[in-house]
Amino acid sequence: MRIVDGVRGEVGPLGGSLYPVYSKYPVLAGLESLPEILVGRALSVSELVDYMKSFADRAVLRLEHAVRRSKYVPTSDPLVELSSFYLAVALAQHAHSWLLRRLADHEGKRVAHEIAKEGEEEVARLLGAMGIEVEYAGGEDGCGHRVVLGRRGSEEVIACLPYRMRVPAYLRCAEKLFTEPEWKLVNRLVLGGYVFLSKRDVSRLAEEAVKRRVLEYGRAFSAEFVGEALRDVLSEVVSLVPREIVERGERPAPEKVEKAFPPCVGRLRELLSRGEHLSHHQRFALATFMLSVGYSVDEVVDAFRTSPDFDEKVARYQVEHLAGQRGSRRRYLVYSCAKMKSLGLCVAECGTGSPLQYYKRAARERGTL
């Protein structure tokens, strides 16, 4: 997606009557529609950036909340929220890739939280504006398809699944979530070519869609002249990036150790170093492996600093727990290859039973073990 000088904006996906929705969900506007929504006419990229610069203070505030992972409360003014959101994306794009991913993660979670509070039918409409083909099938009582989870005394425990998606649409939208078993198609209720979902499920899909859009919008603002136009604000924004993140990008990886990593772990390490968001099972696999091959708790925590949702207190607690330093004092083992395959984390046939076995063999061959 790119915005080009002279391209005329179009009416937003929710129409003029729902213009106030952009206060809570500026991501819905889209760059193609933004000039028309903001000023009612076409704007060049330069003109758009110049217009949004008057909202620089608010844009920096959005980024500060993203870095601190604190709650951002939108104003009721769509112009303020639209301009500050897209300007924040442009600033993050030119400051550091970590900051853009942090903003994407923060905005994704904020939108998911807001979506979860919307009325059931409104949720389907909002997700449709994000390109998520969800249908509301709640019926008169709003429950939709009922699933009996068990019994509590004499009463059945019911789960309501009021939304449905065609299987191809689900596979496309949930692709990034398939390392979490609950999202695999085999673990979903599928009837008549539809996957049935709860409100929590569709809110999570909205979170992923927002993350993708923020990164796309960032690439659309990647031209050098945009960075030049924002130079006077960028110095303040760059200072929001933690020093260890900047320094980490300047340090080479410890080659003698990481060159012996199996392909599956190497892939996770690569994703993390790029600032990608890892699922729970991806993080578990990487952290337990690193601990098992001799990394200290501090080194593992440090490796996760590039994660867009990094929180040092939480990360340290979790790594110490895996290392057997907290809770039951049980040290957690590395996933086997069979487990990695079942989670969709295996990327090559290595002929070993576990990632650790591969590492020991490769390290011996390299003379580093």
Tell me the per-residue pLDDT of 61-90, one tens digit each, with 9 for 90 and over: 999 999 999 999 999 999 999 999 999 999
With respect to residue 80, please indicate whether it lies within any of the assigned structural domains: yes
Same domain for 185 and 51? no
Is there a contact between 122 and 196 (Cβ–Cβ < 8 Å)? Answer: no
Q: What is the spatial distance between Cα 361 and Cα 289, in angstroms, rounded to a whole number?
A: 15
- CA geometry: angle 259, 273, 257, nearest 5 deg: 20
Measuring CA to CA, how many Å separate 21 from each of 55, 115, 129? 19, 12, 11
Whose tokens are 């949702």? That residue is 309
pLDDT of residue 12: 43
Three-state SS at 298: helix
Q: Taken in order 103, 105, 110, 112, is the CA torsion positive or negative?
A: positive
With respect to residue 53, please indicate whether it lies within any of the assigned structural domains: yes
Query: Is residue 369 scored above 80 in pLDDT?
Result: no
- Give the count of domains, the chain: 3
Q: What is the spatial distance between Cα 22 and Cα 27, in angstroms, rounded to a whole number?
A: 8
Is there a contact between 245 and 72 (Cβ–Cβ < 8 Å)? Answer: no
Chain mean pLDDT for the chain: 87
Whose tokens are 């020093």? That residue is 243
With respect to residue 110, please indicate whether it lies within any of the assigned structural domains: yes
More reliable by pLDDT, 254 or 299: 299
With respect to residue 332, please indicate whether it lies within any of the assigned structural domains: yes
Structural domain range at position 186: 120-202
Indicate the residue among 172, 202, 232 that finishes a domain. 202
With respect to residue 55, please indicate whether it lies within any of the assigned structural domains: yes
Residue 87 CB neighbours (<10 A) = 26
Same domain for 217 and 98? yes
Going by C-alpha positions, the residue among 255, 286, 253, 120 that lies closest to residue 197 is: 120
With respect to residue 349, please indicate whether it lies within any of the assigned structural domains: yes
Same domain for 345 and 248? yes
What tens digit of pLDDT does each residue of 130-184 get? Answer: 999 999 988 777 787 887 766 777 777 788 899 999 999 999 999 989 888 899 9
Same domain for 196 and 335? no
Whose tokens are 């772990």? That residue is 265
Same domain for 248 and 308? yes
How many residues are recorded in the chain?
A: 369
Where does residue 71 rank: exposed (0-12), middle (13-18), buried (19+ CB within 10 A)? exposed
pLDDT of residue 254: 54
Same domain for 267 and 359? yes
Instruction: Provide, rounded to the nearest whole percent, the portion of the chain with pLDDT above 70.
Output: 90
What tens digit of pLDDT does each residue of 31-50 get? Answer: 888 999 898 898 999 999 99
Same domain for 107 and 141? no
pLDDT of residue 335: 93
Is there a contact between 36 and 9 (Cβ–Cβ < 8 Å)? Answer: yes
Task: Find the helix or strand (DSSP H, E) in which 42 lies.
Answer: none
pLDDT of residue 194: 95
φ, ψ dihedrals at 49, nearest 5°: -65, -45
What tens digit of pLDDT does each residue of 52-61 get? Answer: 999 999 999 9
What tens digit of pLDDT does each residue of 320-331 get? Answer: 999 888 877 888
Q: What is the spatial distance between Cα 57 and Cα 37, in angstroms, rounded to a whole number?
A: 21
pLDDT of residue 227: 93
What tens digit of pLDDT does each residue of 120-131 get? Answer: 889 999 999 999
Name the packing angle between helices 78-95 and 45-52 (round to 10°): 110
Same domain for 24 and 103? yes
Spatial strand order of the sheet with 163-166 comes to 135-136, 163-166, 194-197, 190-191
Query: Is residue 3 scored above 80 in pLDDT?
Result: no
Question: Distance of alpha carbon 91 from its chain centroid, rounded?
Answer: 19
Residue 6 CB neighbours (<10 A) = 10
Strand duo 194-197 + 190-191: pairing: antiparallel
Is there a contact between 10 and 32 (Cβ–Cβ < 8 Å)? Answer: yes
Same domain for 277 and 331? yes
With respect to residue 9, please indicate whether it lies within any of the assigned structural domains: no
Is there a contact between 241 and 95 (Cβ–Cβ < 8 Å)? Answer: yes
With respect to residue 187, please indicate whether it lies within any of the assigned structural domains: yes
Q: Which amino acid is at 91?
A: L
Same domain for 163 and 190? yes
Question: Distance of alpha carbon 60 from its chain centroid, rounded?
Answer: 20
Same domain for 70 and 94? yes
Query: Is residue 368 scored above 90 in pLDDT?
Result: no
Same domain for 142 and 183? yes
